[in-house]
Every structure is written in structure tokens, then in C-alpha cells.
């Protein structure tokens, strides 16, 4: 069983800002919006998840990445995620559908703007994951 370390939303763009509680619906996190709906959002990309070990590794490598700065909705630890993984966060069940392809929008989170540091193709597993919602519900960060 993993842990939910953060929930992040925005009215479009990055960074996404922390909230303590959110409702997760089939089409995404209530209150969150994407500016580029061609590449982000929709049922197979409803929730963007970043694993904390990826965040910590990139920070240790000197990148200025912070929670929410790469557009993730959820920051989690203790899961072993990959395409096809099904996992629960409290009452919400998600399935990983794909790796989120990084783009220039998140460049400020990386040394010299090299957002490819979050590329699953270049660094397998060092990515954000797009998930579809299997079971919607309400989640909260517990401190």
C-alpha cells in the first residue's frame, strides 16, 4: 500500500498548486484544468501521477523541480508503477495507461531547461504517469 504525499491542481498550466482534498472523477481531478487538451486530459489521461522517488532523484541531481512544478496531479510513494498497473489511493482506483511525454512547458523544473530528464523513453520509469480512473472518489492528503 502506497502513500499520497500531495494533490495539485491549476486553472491551466504549471505549476499546479497544492490542495488537501480533491474529488477524482472519470474525467480528472475536479477543479483542475489543462491548457493543452490535445495532449493532456481525457479519460485515458485523466490523472497525472509522479512518484516521489523520481522527484527526489531529480532534486538530488540538482534540478530545481518542486512538488506540482511538472504538472502532476498526485505525488505518491510506495507504489511500483508502470503501464497497466492498477492501484488504489484511499477509495480511488487508478490504472496507468501511458507515460506522460514531457514538453517545454515544464522546462523551468530542470537544469538548462532539459525537460527530457522526465522522459520514459530516455530514462525508463523516470516519468509522470497518465492514469484513467476506474473508481472515482474523494482523496485527502494526511500529514
| 91-140 pLDDT, tens digit each | 999 999 999 999 999 999 999 999 999 999 999 999 999 999 999 999 99
Q: Which helix (H) or strand (E) holds 59?
A: helix 52-60
Total residue count of the chain as it appears in this document: 143
In a domain, 102, yes or no: yes
CA trace torsion 72, 49, 1, 25 (10° rounding): 90
pLDDT at residue 48, as a whole number: 96
Instruction: For residue 87, give the CATH number of its domain.
Output: 2.40.33.20
Average pLDDT rounded to a whole number, residues 20-33: 95
Q: Where would I find the H helices in the chain?
A: 52-60
Structural domains of the chain, count: 1
Q: Which domain holds residue 23?
A: 3-137
- pLDDT over 90 at 1, yes or no: no
- pLDDT over 90 at 41, yes or no: no
Q: Point out which residues pair with 9 in neighbouring strands.
A: 17
User: pLDDT-based confidence at 13, cuts 50/70/90?
Assistant: confident
pLDDT at residue 33, as a whole number: 81
In a domain, 142, yes or no: no
Cβ(49)–Cβ(16) under 8 Å?
Answer: no
- pLDDT over 80 at 34, yes or no: no
In a domain, 143, yes or no: no
Q: How many helices (H) and strands (E) does the chain have?
A: 1, 10
- Reported as a single tens digit per residue, the pLDDT across 42-93 is 778 899 999 999 999 999 999 999 999 999 999 999 999 999 999 999 999 9
Query: Could you tell me which of 39, 9, 35, 37 has the C-alpha nearest to residue 23?
Result: 9
- pLDDT over 90 at 37, yes or no: no
pLDDT at residue 35, as a whole number: 59
Tell whether pTM > 0.85. Answer: yes
Amino acid at each position: 500500500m502506497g502513500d499520497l504525499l500531495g494533490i495539485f491542481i491549476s486553472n491551466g498550466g504549471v505549476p499546479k498548486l497544492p490542495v488537501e482534498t480533491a474529488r477524482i472523477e472519470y474525467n480528472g481531478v475536479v477543479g483542475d484544468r489543462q491548457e493543452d487538451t490535445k495532449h493532456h486530459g481525457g479519460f485515458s489521461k485523466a490523472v497525472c501521477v509522479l512518484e516521489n522517488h523520481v522527484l527526489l532523484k531529480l532534486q538530488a541531481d540538482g534540478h530545481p523541480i518542486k512538488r506540482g512544478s511538472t504538472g502532476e496531479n498526485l505525488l505518491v510513494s510506495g507504489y511500483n508503477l508502470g503501464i497497466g498497473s492498477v492501484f488504489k489511493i484511499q477509495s480511488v482506483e487508478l490504472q496507468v495507461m501511458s507515460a506522460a511525454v514531457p514538453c517545454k512547458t515544464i522546462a523551468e523544473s530542470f537544469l538548462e531547461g532539459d525537460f527530457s530528464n522526465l522522459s520514459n523513453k530516455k530514462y525508463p520509469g523516470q516519468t509522470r504517469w497518465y492514469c484513467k480512473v476506474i473508481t472515482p472518489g474523494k482523496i485527502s492528503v494526511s500529514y
